[in-house]
Amino acid sequence: MPRSRSDSRVVRQLRHGQITIPKDFRAALGLEPDDLLRVTLGEGKLEVAPVKAMAKGSDWAKRLHDLFAPMRESLQEYSEAEINAAIDEAVQESRAHRRRSG
């Protein structure tokens, strides 16, 4: 299907690579201020698509629990306090790296 002018815009990249999605595009997609977007790099272009939230009553929690089952099993020898300390350390390292890079 050929593209019309209405579904293509030129926008300026702001500091740190931020862009603004035109208001009519956000409205057409039903985007709300806190909605998540997936940005994909492919063959010289960016694709931006809304991330669909799971419907209420879906089995997302069970699937997430099952997804992390091998990790939980491998960490059984550690206490909850040890795991929390390792997570805290990783978060601090990530934040420090972001500050140095940003």
Q: Read off the tokens for 68.
A: 């992390």
Instruction: Return the pLDDT at 8.
Output: 87
- What whole-number distance in Å separates Cα of residue 95 and Cα of residue 93? 5
- What whole-number distance in Å separates Cα of residue 9 and Cα of residue 19? 12
DSSP run (H or E) holding 74: helix 69-74
Q: Per residue in 55-96, pLDDT tens?
A: 666 787 888 888 988 988 888 899 989 988 999 999 999 999
Q: Read off the tokens for 83.
A: 């795991």
Query: Are 11 and 38 found together in one domain?
Result: yes
31 in a structural domain: yes
- What whole-number distance in Å separates Cα of residue 70 and Cα of residue 39? 29
55 in a structural domain: no
2 in a structural domain: no
Counting the structural domains of the chain, the total is 2
Whole-model pTM over 0.75? no
